[in-house]
Amino acid sequence: MLEYNTIYLDYNMNDKVIFSGVQPSGEIHIGNYLGAISQFVDYQTDYKSIFSIVDLHAITVWQDSEALRNSTREVLAIFLASGLDESKNIIFNQSQVPEHTQLSWILSCTAKVGWLNRMTQFKDKAGKNKENASVGLYTYPILMAADILLYSASHVPVGDDQKQHLELARDIAHKFNTDYSENIFVMPEPLMNKSTTRIMSLRDGSNKMSKSDISEYSRILMTDSNDKIALKIKKAKTDPLKMPNTLKESESRLEVNNLLNIYSACALMKKEEVISKYASKEISLFKNDLTEVIINKVEPISIKTKQLLTDKVHLDNILSMGATKAKEISCKTIAKVYDKIGMINK
């Protein structure tokens, strides 16, 4: 796999293009928000930004059609409620721009089976039942590469779980450029926020917070009520010790460390400051304050999301406008690629 530099938040921003995607499968949790969506909001003024609700990725596992439609609108509503501006950015659902699947096929002729076989997310998701997983789940990272390369994205804000897929996108771009002796595709770099790049489950600090975890107490949803948030934090797994005194001590205590990361990100406070504020205090006291800082972050987004969801026509119009703008860019890439590989396309 090709090496890349992981770029952190203090990166010098100069006219770069961002692309990122969120699946409308299951409900958006605070890991998605802190690891990805809040970053989208931070970058939207300095980057030309394109954000997609990747519904074609969602159907790699079966989805109820009504639930998929609702979930697509809900992700859009959460984007907007979090502060993404549809007039400054391109926001659309992937299936309205067919160039994603067109490029995906072409790139599947560039990517190697061996490269896909290394993808850990497929192994995790397919589990022991690999033979029964959909082919789409296996080739999913190629569609993701197409998403990114279609828009010549230079930077991709994602959580740590997507790093390997991004490396694959770089490998595919590099091979295509080499095969056709021209730099058709831009090599994308990940953008990650160190402390929130992997928010862990509230029930098990060694597993990431995930939409598909069977326990609803493993995650805080962006639409959870205040009472639900309080209950989930109360039940969050910790250890019998008091709060840590140092960063090093915190890092050796998975569950507490995860809660400190969440606190620090929600309160916009340096983690060291949070550690010194609560050093040697009872965990229950910290949990009470943590509940409050999470509610301060989630409640306004949740209220706005619910308001936005009352006007489906407005939301669908935003997606369709975004798709029109996205097509203007993606059509040009497809024309360039078709020409390069020898397709007659008048």
Spatial distance between the Cα atoms of 138 and 165, rounded to a whole number of angstroms: 12
Q: Which of 35, 205, 244, 322 binds ligand TYM (CB under 6 A)?
A: 35
Minimum Å gap between C-beta 112 and ligand TYM is: 20
Residue (16 or 198) nearer to ligand TYM, CB: 198
Q: Count of CB atoms within 10 A of residue 284's CB?
A: 9
Residue (159 or 205) nearer to ligand TYM, CB: 159
163 as an active site residue: the answer is no
- Candidates 83-91, 144-152, 273-281, 311-319: pick the segment binding ligand TYM (CB under 6 A): 144-152
Q: Which of 17, 91, 156, 236 binds ligand TYM (CB under 6 A)?
A: 156
Spatial distance between the Cα atoms of 239 and 253, rounded to a whole number of angstroms: 8
Residues 47-106 close enough to bind ligand TYM by CB under 6 A? 54, 57
Assess contact for 274 and 260: CB atoms under 8 A: yes
* Helix H or strand E encompassing 339: helix 312-341
Spatial distance between the Cα atoms of 180 and 333, rounded to a whole number of angstroms: 15
Assess contact for 49 and 322: CB atoms under 8 A: no
* Dihedral angle of Cα 59, 72, 224, 282, to the nearest 10 degrees: 60
Assess contact for 58 and 102: CB atoms under 8 A: no
48 as an active site residue: the answer is no
159 part of the interface to ligand TYM, by CB under 6 A:
yes
Residue (56 or 308) nearer to ligand TYM, CB: 56
Spatial distance between the Cα atoms of 121 and 140, rounded to a whole number of angstroms: 10
Minimum Å gap between C-beta 147 and ligand TYM is: 4
- Candidates 141-149, 177-185, 237-245, 256-264: pick the segment binding ligand TYM (CB under 6 A): 141-149
Residues 274-333 close enough to bind ligand TYM by CB under 6 A? none
Choose among 194, 190, 193: nearest CA to 247: 194
Minimum Å gap between C-beta 199 and ligand TYM is: 4
Residue tagged active-site, from 175, 211, 228, 237: 211
| Residue type for position 57 | H
x-or-dash pattern for ligand TYM, window 173-212, by CB under 6 A?
-----------------------xxxx--------xx---
Q: Which of 18, 84, 97, 158 binds ligand TYM (CB under 6 A)?
A: 158
Query: Going by C-beta distance under 8 Å and a sequence separation of 6 or more, which residues neighbour residue 218?
Result: 201, 202, 203, 204, 207, 209, 210
Minimum Å gap between C-beta 317 and ligand TYM is: 23
Spatial distance between the Cα atoms of 203 and 258, rounded to a whole number of angstroms: 11
Residue (125 or 277) nearer to ligand TYM, CB: 125
130 as an active site residue: the answer is no
Residues 205-264 close enough to bind ligand TYM by CB under 6 A? 208-209
R_g of the chain, CA atoms, integer Å: 21
- Sheet strands (E) in 28-139: 48-53, 90-93
20 part of the interface to ligand TYM, by CB under 6 A:
yes
Q: Is 299 exposed, middle or buried (0-12, 13-18, 19+ CB in 10 A)?
A: middle
Minimum Å gap between C-beta 299 and ligand TYM is: 20
Please give the residue ranges that form the binding site for ligand TYM (CB under 6 A): 19-23, 31-32, 35-36, 54, 57, 144, 147-148, 156, 158-159, 161-162, 165, 196-199, 208-209
Catalytic residue positions? 125, 208, 211
